[in-house]
Structure 1
Amino acid sequence: MTDTDMKIDPQRAAALVSQIKTVRERIAAVANGRDVRLVAVSKLKPANDILALVQQASPPQLHFGENYAQELSQKAELLPRSIQWHFIGGLQSGHCKSLAKIPNLFSVSSIDTEKKAQLLDKYRGEYLSSLPPPSSPPSPSPTNTPVPAPGKINIHIQVNTSGETSKSGCAPGAPTISLCRAVAALPNLHLLGLMTIGAIARSVATTPETENEDFLCLREQRDLVAAELGLAPEDLELSMGMSEDYEGAIVAGSSEVRVGSTLFGARGPKSEAKIMV
Structure 2
Amino acid sequence: MSIKNNIQNIKSQLPKHVILVAVSKTKPVSDLMEAYDAGQRVFGENKIQEMAEKWETMPKDIQWHMIGHVQTNKVKYMAEFVDLIHGVDSLKLLKEINKQAQKHNRVINCLLQIKIAKEDSKFGLSITDAKSIIESQLFSEFKNIKVVGLMGMATFTDDMIQVKEEFEFLKSNYNDFKKLKTKNFELSILSMGMSGDYQLAIDCGSNMVRIGSSIFGARNYN
Question: Quick one: which of 22, 31, 53 aligns to 2:35?
Answer: 53
For residues 174-253 of structure 1, the aligned pairs below 5 Å read 174-181=128-135, 185-201=141-157, 204-206=158-160, 212-229=164-181, 235-253=187-205
Question: Which residue identity is paired with 2:133?
Answer: L
3-state secondary structure, aligned to 2:121: coil
Distance 1:235 1:222 in 2: 8
Q: Return the offset for 1:236.
A: 3.0
Which residue is equivalent to 2:11? Answer: 24
Distance 2:202 2:22 in 1: 16
Distance 1:247 1:115 in 2: 34
Question: Which residue identity is paired with 1:217?
Answer: F
Question: Which residue identity is paired with 1:111?
Answer: V
Contact 2:109/2:145 (8 A) holds in 1? yes
Q: Return the offset for 1:163.
A: 4.3
Percent sequence identity over matched residues?
A: 32
State whether structure 2 residue 117 is matched by structure 1 residue 165.
no
3-state secondary structure, aligned to 1:45: coil
Which residue is equivalent to 1:107? Answer: 84
- Structure 1 residue ranges, 4+ long, deviating more than 4 angstroms after superposition: 181-185
State whether structure 2 residue 27 is matched by structure 1 residue 42.
no
TM-score, length-scaled by structure 1: 0.73
Which residue is equivalent to 2:98? Answer: 121
Q: Return the offset for 1:165.
A: 2.2
Question: Which residue identity is paired with 1:259?
Answer: I
Which residue is equivalent to 1:155? Answer: 110
Q: Return the offset for 1:162.
A: 2.2
Structure 1: which 5+ residue stretches go unaligned?
1-13, 129-150, 273-277
Structure 2: which 5+ residue stretches go unaligned?
none
Question: Which residue identity is paired with 1:186?
Answer: F
Change (3 A) 1:184 1:76: farther
Which residue is equivalent to 2:41? Answer: 62
Q: Return the offset for 1:247.
A: 0.7
Contact 1:181/1:229 (8 A) holds in 2? no
Which residue is equivalent to 1:257? Answer: 209
More strand by share: 2
Q: Number of matched residues? A: 218
Q: Of the two, which has the highest radius of gyration? A: 1
Question: Which residue identity is paired with 1:257?
Answer: V
Question: Which residue identity is paired with 1:42?
Answer: S
Question: Which residue identity is paired with 1:263?
Answer: I
For residues 67-146 of structure 1, the aligned pairs below 5 Å read 67-101=46-80, 103=81, 105-128=82-105
- What is the aligned-residue RMSD (CA, Å)? 2.1
Change (3 A) 1:218 1:264: same
Q: Return the offset for 1:177.
A: 1.4
Q: Return the offset for 1:230.
A: 6.8
Distance 1:214 1:229 in 2: 24
Contact 1:111/1:156 (8 A) holds in 2? yes
Residue deviations 1:35-75, cap 9 Å, x none? 100000000000111112212x1xx1100000001101111
Distance 2:202 2:182 in 1: 25
Contact 2:46/2:67 (8 A) holds in 1? yes
3-state secondary structure, aligned to 1:236: strand
3-state secondary structure, aligned to 1:200: coil
Q: Return the offset for 1:127.
A: 1.8
Contact 2:113/2:125 (8 A) holds in 1? yes
Change (3 A) 1:20 1:206: farther
